[in-house]
Structure formats: structure tokens, C-alpha cells
């Protein structure tokens, strides 16, 4: 069972438009409202593939109630922590070539009591989880040490934790030795304080995060595949993608696939790549089910293409 923690969840409204023209009236050719937040997406991906998951998050207002209902309809148990403010709403515009324009709301501020209640909600369910995946940015209120405290409490409960966050929240948590961290290329570069030009540069950066406390680094490199760096070795995986419709949530789907496959070794990396490649071919933040996956197309290897240049992350592409 995978327990997810999303400190700053959202309702995500996505509009498909022919083109983005500043100052113009845009008519959407499709729109949808979906549960949002990185940990929420991990739960959605686990559930879509037939796995068991519980989603812990703060919820407030009519938006929070709708978010909980949408997750319940997808077979996801919701452990909501009451919030005085209202759950945020994010907007995404998707163009035909897959280009995304996102407007993410800041979300409500959490009081000290609400942030503490969120930690307690995780602790009360940790014993029943194979993995705890805590994902996304922190809302206003809690400092970066909140993630570090969550890692420490998870380990005291005897559970394993995967962390998908960035910036000060990631660096503060490394000393607690999270079992898995999952940065993308930009977050990996930010964490080590230098730009990454090649896959080899990304390997060195991942090794540096391990030296600072991370047990395993699963790094999404956009169109350049994914890296797995752990005690068991270093592996690179990739899969072809025929059409990129949306990369929203693709990295979250990758983490779900990785954890559901055990969270270690090249087989788990292959599952992560398959889930990520399937997710970018789906609209909005839709999560792939078993029928969407093409594991036969995935290639994983210990022969790392260290000289391969990393694509510009602004161009999009699969995780």
C-alpha cells in the first residue's frame, strides 16, 4: 500500500486551445477538472493501475470537498485534515503540440496547528504503508524543516519514504536520509548549485545527493529518459513517445510506477519509465492504467550515455 502526502493539493482545471495569444479571446476545445498536486497524482496513478493507496492532505472549503469527492470516485481513500482556508485551484492551457501554460495559485496558508495535524495524520497510518510518498511544494506557513521532520517521523515508525520536492525543502530533508528522492533535471541542478549539460553531469549530481543523505535518486531528465542511482548501481532508462499531449503529472506517474514495482533496481526503473511515457500521451493530468502501458518499449541499461546532451527542459517531452 502506498500512502501519499500532499501538503498543498489543488483542483486542476485544464483547457485545450488551438493557440495561445496574449490579449485575445480563447475558445477551449476541451476542458476538464481533475484532482491536482504531486502526491495526489501518485495516488491516482497507483489506483489507475489497480494498486492500493491512501491520500493524506489538508482540505478546505467547497474546493476541498470537490477534490475529496473526485478522488473517492477514483477509488482512492482520502485522509483529509480540516483546513480553515480553501483548497487552491490551478489553471492549465494546453496547445496542440503539447505546450503548456500554467497558472498555479499559491494556496491557503497552514497554521502551525494544521501543519502539525498533517504530520499526525501521516503517523497514524504509517504502519500500514509499504511506502510513504510525500510530494510537492509546501504551502505558506510551514518552513522547509517540515519535510525533514516528516522524514524523521517516517523512519521512527519503521516505514520507507520517497520525497519529491525541491529547493530548501529537499536540501533540508537530505540529512534525514530519505530512502528515495525524485528530482527532475532542473531540480537536480538547483540542488547541487550548477547547470547540467549532459546525462553524465546528471549522474554526478545524483551521486552528490546520495553523498548528502539520499538513499536512491530517481531523476527525470525529460525527453532524455530517467536515471536511477543507488547502492545497486546506476541505470538509465528511456522509451519512445509517439505523441506528447501533456506532461502534467508524468513525473508523478513515474514515481508511482517505481514504488509499485518495489522501489529499487532496474525493473522498478523500467516501470517508472513505462508509466511516465504513457502519461505524456494522455490529456491533462490523466494517469495511465494498465492498458496504457507499453513495457516492451522500455530500454534500461547500465551503459550510461554520459556524453548525451540534455534537452532544454522548456521544450517539454516525456520524463
Which residues are marked as active site?
252
Give strand ranges (E) for 183-258: 216-220, 226-230, 233-238
Pick from 228, 167, 231, 238: which is nearest to 202 by CA?
228
**Is residue 177 within 8 Å of residue 142, measured between CB atoms?**
no
Instruction: Give the three-state DSSP class for 216.
Output: strand
Give strand ranges (E) for 179-249: 180-181, 216-220, 226-230, 233-238
**Is residue 37 within 8 Å of residue 9, measured between CB atoms?**
yes
Give strand ranges (E) for 115-231: 131-135, 161-164, 180-181, 216-220, 226-230
- 30-36 β-sheet, strand order: 30-36, 10-16, 88-94, 100-103
**Is residue 114 within 8 Å of residue 108, measured between CB atoms?**
no
The pairing of beta strand 226-230 with beta strand 216-220: antiparallel
Q: Is the dihedral of CA 121, 127, 128, 133 positive or negative?
A: positive
CA distance linking residue 230 with residue 28, whole number of Å:
44
**Is residue 84 within 8 Å of residue 114, measured between CB atoms?**
yes
CA distance linking residue 26 with residue 30, whole number of Å:
12
Amino acid at each position: 500500500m502506498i500512502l501519499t502526502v500532499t501538503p498543498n493539493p489543488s483542483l486542476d482545471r485544464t483547457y485545450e486551445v488551438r493557440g495561445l495569444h496574449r490579449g485575445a479571446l480563447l475558445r477551449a476545445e476541451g476542458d476538464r477538472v481533475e484532482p491536482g498536486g504531486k502526491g495526489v497524482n501518485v495516488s491516482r496513478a497507483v489506483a489507475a493501475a489497480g494498486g492500493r493507496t491512501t491520500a493524506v492532505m489538508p482540505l478546505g472549503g467547497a474546493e476541498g470537498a470537490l477534490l475529496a469527492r473526485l478522488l473517492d470516485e477514483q477509488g482512492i481513500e482520502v485522509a483529509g485534515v480540516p483546513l480553515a482556508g480553501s483548497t487552491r485551484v490551478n489553471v492549465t492551457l494546453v496547445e496542440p503540440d503539447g505546450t503548456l501554460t500554467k497558472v498555479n495559485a499559491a494556496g491557503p496558508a497552514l497554521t502551525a496547528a494544521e501543519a502539525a495535524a498533517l504530520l499526525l495524520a501521516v503517523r497514524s497510518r504509517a504502519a500500514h504503508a509499504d511506502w510513504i510518498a510525500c510530494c510537492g511544494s509546501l504551502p505558506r506557513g510551514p518552513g522547509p524543516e517540515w519535510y525533514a521532520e516528516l522524514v524523521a517521523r517516517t523512519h521512527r515508525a519503521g516505514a520507507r519514504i520517497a520525497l519529491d520536492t525541491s529547493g530548501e525543502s529537499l536540501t533540508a530533508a537530505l540529512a534525514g536520509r530519505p530512502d528515495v528522492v525524485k528530482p527532475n533535471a532542473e531540480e537536480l541542478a538547483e540542488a547541487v548549485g550548477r547547470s547540467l549539460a549532459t546525462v553524465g553531469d546528471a549522474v554526478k549530481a545524483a551521486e552528490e545527493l546520495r553523498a548528502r543523505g539520499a538513499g536512491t535518486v530517481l531523476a527525470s531528465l525529460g525527453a532524455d529518459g530517467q536515471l536511477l542511482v543507488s547502492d545497486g548501481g546506476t541505470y538509465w532508462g528511456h522509451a519512445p513517445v509517439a505523441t506528447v499531449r501533456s506532461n502534467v503529472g508524468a513525473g508523478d506517474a513515474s514515481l508511482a510506477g517505481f514504488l509499485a514495482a518495489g522501489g529499487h533496481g532496474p525493473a522498478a526503473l523500467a516501470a517508472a519509465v513505462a508509466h511516465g511515457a504513457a502519461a505524456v500521451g494522455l490529456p491533462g493530468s490523466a494517469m495511465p492504467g494498465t492498458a496504457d502501458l507499453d513495457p516492451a518499449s522500455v530500454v534500461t541499461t547500465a551503459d550510461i550515455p554520459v556524453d548525451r546532451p540534455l534537452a532544454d527542459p522548456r521544450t517539454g517531452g516525456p520524463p
